[in-house]
C-alpha cells in the first residue's frame, strides 16, 4: 500500500511539473475528487459526524469543515472526540516514518532553488494565497475547508512540500473541502505548503503540522505520536488522555511497554496491536482510566527476522547489546518518549511528576522488571506479572549478569546500579498458581546456557510455585522485602487475573506519595466487580 501511494504521488508530481496538460474537472460543491490520487471520505464532510470504520465510534469533526478545522477522531465512542489531533482510523503510513528533511523553519514553507513550478521565475502561473484556519495532523489525514471564492475552480493537480522537498501525499477536493493524506508522518511544528494548480493559477495554503493541537479534558482521547529521532526515539508511541486527567490527584504518567504476543517484520501490525491495547485492552491503560491518569505505550518491534536476537518486548540482553540501528537502547528510547509526553502535556496545562507508574505482564512484565533495575530514578511504582531480574551482582555464590542481575550493568549501559533510588520504588509482582511459564529454559531468545546453570543452582527445582517462593526469599535476604510484594492469584495460569485490575488501582493509589505501602490483595484470580472497579479511583 505504501509503495503504491509513493508511486501515485510521484506520478502526480510529474504531472504537475509537465504543466498540467489536461484540465477536465472542476472543484464545485457537487463534483467528486479531482485529478490525481484521492481519498474517498467515508461520509460527506459537510456533515458534523463521520463513522470510525475501525471502532464503530463516531468521529467528531469539531466545528465542522466550514470553519477550516481539521477532523479529530476520538478513541472513545461514548464521549465523542477530543479537540486536536488523534489517531485517524483511515489509511496511514506504515513502519518507521522517514524523518522529513529540508525544513527551513520559515512559515512560508518556501526555500531557494525549489523545483516546484510555482517557484520558477518564468512560470505562467499567477499565484493566489488561500487564507484558511486549518492545520495538519502529523500522523493522520487532515481536512480543510477552502474559501467560498475557490468554488468552481477547475483543478489540474496538487503538490505538497516541506521546504524544498516534495512530500508524497494523496490530495483531493470534495464539496470545497481539501483532503490531505501524506504517505509519511509529518514533522511537529513545521509548516507545509499545499499547492493547487488550475490552468493558469497556483493556489497555495501554508499549514502547520501538530502532534496534538488541543486536548479536550472532558473526553477520552488517543493520540499517535510519531518517531522523533532528534529527540531520542525511533519508534512511535500512543498517548491516551482519559477524561478528567487535568483534575486528577495522580499527576503522573502510567507506562506499559507493548507486548504483541507474536513476531512480525511489519511494524504496522505491532502498531495496530498497541493501539488496541492503549485504548483500554491492557492493565496499564485500564488502570490509568480509573485513576484519570495519562497513559503511554511505545510501538516497539518484535521482528520475525532473527527473532531470537530481537526480543525487544522483554528488553533482552541481545537487544541491550545493540550498538546501531533504530533498535539501539530502547530503554533510553522509552525514557525519551516519557519526556516527550510530559513536555507535550505540560504545553497543554497538565504538569506531571518526573517518576512514572509502570505495568506489564509476561514479556512486558520482564521489560518493566529490568527497566526498573536499570532506571529506578524514573520509576515511582510498578505492578507487573513475573519477576526475573535481581538488583544485585551476586546471589548464592553465583555472579548474575544481565538479565539476571547487575554484575555487568556498568559495562552494558555505562551506569552503575542506583541502589538508593531502587529502594524508593514500590513494587507489586504477581503470578498465577497454575502458571508454568516460570520454568528454567535456556533459549537464545532470553537466557543463555550460563543463565540457565545459575537458575538451576539457585532454585534446584522445576516447580514454578517453589521457584516463585524462592524468588521472594532471595529478595528478602537482599534487604528488599520492605519495598516489594510478591503475590499468587489462585485459579489461573499464564494470564492477567481480573482481580489484578482491582489490586493495581489499590496499589497505585497507596503508593503515590513518599511512603511505600503494601496492600491486601485479592486471592481469587477471577474476582471482578465492575461497579466497584470503575468507581474506585475517582
- Boundary of a domain, candidates 210, 239, 257: 210
**Full domain range(s) for residue 497:** 227-533
Do residue 113 and residue 241 come from a single domain? Answer: no
What sign for the dihedral angle of Cα 114, 120, 121, 127? Answer: negative
Residue 130 lies in a domain: yes
Question: Do 257 and 404 fall within a single domain?
Answer: yes
Q: What's the confidence (pLDDT) of residue 538?
A: 66
Which of 185, 210, 235 is the last residue before a domain boundary?
210
Residue 62 located in a structural domain: no
Q: What is the CATH number of the domain that holds 235?
A: 3.40.50.1820
Q: What is the CATH number of the domain that holds 193?
A: 2.60.40.10
Q: Which residues pair with 206 in a beta bridge?
A: 193
Domain contains 220:
no
What is the model's pLDDT at position 448?
87
Same domain, 135 and 274: no
Say if 50 falls within a structural domain.
no
**Which runs of consecutive H residues, i.e. helices, occur in 377-477?**
409-413, 419-422, 449-459, 464-477
pLDDT per position as a tens digit, 133-146: 999 999 999 999 99
Are 168 and 303 found together in one domain?
Answer: no
Specify whether 177 is located in the same domain as 287. no
Q: Judge if 390 and 329 occupy the same domain.
A: yes
Is 538 part of any domain? no
- Does residue 359 belong to any structural domain of this protein? yes
List the one residue out of 101, 105, 373, 402 whose CA is nearest residue 230: 101
- Same domain, yes or no, for 483 and 357? yes
The model's pTM: 0.79
Extract the runs of DSSP E, i.e. beta strands, from 303-414. Answer: 356-361, 379-385, 394-395, 398-399
User: How many domains does the structure of the chain reveal?
Assistant: 2
Cα R_g (the chain), whole angstroms: 26
276 and 129 both lie in a single domain:
no
Residue 296 lies in a domain: yes
Q: In the chain, which stretches have pLDDT less than 50?
A: 1-122
**237: region left, alpha or beta (phi > 0 left; psi from -120 to 50 alpha):** beta
Q: Which residue has the cell 513536555?
A: 343
| Residues 435-487: tens digit of each pLDDT | 998 878 776 567 888 999 999 999 999 999 999 999 999 999 999 999 999 99
Same domain, 268 and 297: yes
Tell me: cis bond preceding 503? Omega within 30 of 0 counts. Answer: no
Same domain, 205 and 237: no
**Cβ distance 109 to 149 under 8 Å?**
no
Sheet holding 254-255, edge to edge: 221-225, 237-241, 295-298, 254-255, 356-361, 379-385, 426-432, 484-489
Q: Is 112 exposed, middle or buried (0-12, 13-18, 19+ CB in 10 A)?
A: exposed
Please give the pLDDT value at position 125: 77
For residue 339, which phi and psi values (nearest 5 degrees)?
-60, -45
Domain assignment present for residue 192? The answer is yes
Clarify whether residues 324 and 384 are in a common domain: yes
Same domain, 189 and 298: no
Q: Which of 145, 175, 210 is the last residue of a domain?
A: 210
Confidence at residue 230, expressed as pLDDT on a 0 to 100 scale: 96
Amino acid at each position: 500500500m505504501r509503495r503504491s501511494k509513493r508511486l501515485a504521488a510521484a506520478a502526480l508530481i510529474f504531472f504537475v511539473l509537465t504543466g498540467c496538460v489536461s484540465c477536465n474537472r472542476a472543484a464545485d460543491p457537487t463534483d467528486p475528487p479531482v485529478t490525481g490520487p484521492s481519498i474517498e471520505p467515508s461520509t460527506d464532510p459537510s456533515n458534523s459526524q463521520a463513522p470510525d470504520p475501525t471502532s464503530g465510534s463516531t468521529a467528531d469533526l469539531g466545528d465542522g469543515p466550514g470553519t477550516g478545522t481539521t477532523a479529530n477522531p476520538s478513541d472513545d465512542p461514548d464521549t465523542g472526540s477530543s479537540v486536536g489531533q488523534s489517531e485517524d482510523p483511515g489509511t496511514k503510513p506504515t513502519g518507521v516514518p522517514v524523518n522529513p528533511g529540508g525544513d527551513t523553519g520559515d512559515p512560508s514553507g518556501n526555500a531557494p532553488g525549489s523545483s516546484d513550478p510555482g517557484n520558477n521565475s518564468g512560470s505562467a502561473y499567477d499565484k493566489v494565497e488561500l487564507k484558511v484556519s486549518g492545520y495538519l495532523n502529523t500522523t493522520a489525514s487532515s481536512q480543510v475547508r477552502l474559501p467560498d471564492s475557490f468554488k468552481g475552480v477547475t483543478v489540474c493537480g496538487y503538490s505538497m512540500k516541506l521546504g524544498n522537498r516534495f512530500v508524497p501525499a494523496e490530495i483531493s477536493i470534495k464539496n470545497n473541502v481539501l483532503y490531505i493524506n501524506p504517505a509519511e508522518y509529518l514533522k511537529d511544528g513545521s509548516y507545509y505548503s499545499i499547492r493547487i494548480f488550475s490552468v493558469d493559477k497556483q493556489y497555495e495554503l501554508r499549514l502547520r503540522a501538530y502532534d496534538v493541537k488541543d486536548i479536550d479534558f472532558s473526553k477520552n482521547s488517543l493520540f499517535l505520536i510519531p518517531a522523533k529521532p532528534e529527540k531520542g526515539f525511533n519508534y512511535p508511541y500512543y498517548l491516551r488522555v482519559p477524561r478528567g486527567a487535568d483534575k486528577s490527584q495522580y499527576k503522573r504518567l502510567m507506562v506499559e511497554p507493548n507486548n504483541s504476543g507474536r513476531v512480525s517484520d511489519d511494524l504496522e501490525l505491532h502498531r495496530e496491536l498497541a493501539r488496541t491495547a492503549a485504548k483500554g485492552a491492557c492493565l496499564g491503560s485500564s488502570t490509568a482510566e480509573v485513576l484519570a491518569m495519562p497513559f503511554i505505550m511505545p510501538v516497539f518491534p518484535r521482528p520475525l527476522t532473527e527473532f531470537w536476537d530481537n526480543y525487544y518486548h522483554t528488553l533482552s540482553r541481545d537487544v541491550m547489546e545493540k550498538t546501531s540501528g533504530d533498535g539501539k537502547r530502547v530503554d533510553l528510547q522509552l525514557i525519551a518518549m516519557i519526556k516527550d509526553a510530559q513536555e507535550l502535556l505540560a504545553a497543554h496545562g497538565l504538569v506531571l511528576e518526573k517518576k512514572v507508574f509502570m505495568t506489564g505482564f509476561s514479556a512486558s512484565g520482564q521489560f518493566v522488571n529490568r527497566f526498573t533495575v536499570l532506571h529506578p530514578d524514573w520509576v515511582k511504582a510498578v505492578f507487573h506479572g513475573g519477576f526475573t531480574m535481581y538488583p544485585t551482582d551476586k546471589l548464592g555464590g553465583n555472579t548474575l549478569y544481565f538479565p539476571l542481575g547487575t554484575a555487568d550493568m556498568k559495562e552494558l549501559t555505562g551506569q552503575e546500579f542506583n541502589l538508593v533510588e531502587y529502594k524508593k520504588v514500590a513494587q507489586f509482582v504477581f503470578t498465577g498458581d497454575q502458571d508454568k511459564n516460570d520454568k528454567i529454559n535456556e533459549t537464545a531468545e532470553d537466557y543463555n546456557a550460563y543463565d540457565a546453570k545459575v537458575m538451576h543452582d539457585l532454585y534446584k527445582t522445576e516447580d514454578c510455585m517453589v521457584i516463585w517462593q524462592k524468588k521472594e526469599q532471595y529478595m528478602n535476604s537482599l534487604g528488599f522485602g520492605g519495598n516489594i510484594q510478591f503475590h499468587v492469584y489462585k485459579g489461573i495460569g499464564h494470564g492477567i487475573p481480573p482481580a489484578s485490575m482491582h489490586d493495581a488501582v489499590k496499589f497505585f493509589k497507596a503508593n503515590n506519595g513518599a511512603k511505600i505501602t503494601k496492600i491486601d490483595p485479592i486471592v481469587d484470580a477471577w474476582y471482578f466487580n465492575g461497579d466497584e472497579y470503575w468507581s474506585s479511583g475517582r
